[in-house]
Amino acid sequence: MNRQTADASLLERVPDHVGPRKMAFRGGAVHWRQPPGAFSFLSTGHSMAIRLARSPGFRFAFDSERSREFDLIAGMLGIAPAGMECKAEWSAPIESVVVALSPESMRELAGHEIDRPDVEIRPVNHTIDNTALQLAKMIKAELSRPDHANELYLDSLITLLGVHVLRRYSSAAKPLKPVDGGLSTIAANRIREYLHEHFRRKLTISELAATCGLSPGYFTQAFAKTFGIPPHRYVLERRLDFAEKLLVGTQLPVAEIAFLSGFSSQSHLTTMMKTHRDKTPRQFR
Residue 274 C-beta-side C-alpha neighbours within 13 Å: 8
Q: Against a cut of 0.85, is the pTM above it?
A: no
* 3 state SS of 158: helix
* pLDDT-wise least confident of 60-64, 158-162, 178-182, 276-280: 178-182
At 51 the pLDDT is 94
What pLDDT band is residue 10 in, cutting at 50, 70 and 90? confident
* 3 state SS of 253: coil
Which residues, listed in sequence order, are joined to residue 59 by a DSSP beta bridge? 69, 89
* pLDDT mean over 56-66: 82
Q: Best-predicted range by mean pLDDT among 52-56, 125-129, 171-175, 251-255? A: 251-255
Cα separations in angstroms, 146 against 20, 48, 284:
11, 25, 52
At 1 the pLDDT is 46
Residue 184: CB atoms within 10 A of its CB come to 17
Residues 22, 140: Cα–Cα separation, whole Å: 11
What are 183-229's pLDDT values in tens digits?
888 888 889 888 988 999 999 998 898 888 788 888 999 999 988 88
What pLDDT band is residue 116 in, cutting at 50, 70 and 90? low
Residues 123, 127: Cα–Cα separation, whole Å: 11
Residues 178, 169: Cα–Cα separation, whole Å: 16
Q: Is the pLDDT of residue 9 over 80?
A: no
Element containing residue 75 per DSSP (H, E): none
At 61 the pLDDT is 87
Q: How far apart are the first and last CA of the chain?
A: 64
At 143 the pLDDT is 93
Q: Is the pLDDT of residue 261 over 80?
A: yes
Residues 138, 141: Cα–Cα separation, whole Å: 5
Give the gyration radius of the chain's Cα atoms: 22
Which residues, listed in sequence order, are joined to residue 77 by a DSSP beta bridge? 50, 127
Residues 168, 77: Cα–Cα separation, whole Å: 12
Q: Is the pLDDT of residue 179 over 60?
A: no
Strand 21-23 vs strand 76-80: parallel, antiparallel, or unpaired?
unpaired
* pLDDT mean over 14-32: 88
Residues 268, 259: Cα–Cα separation, whole Å: 10
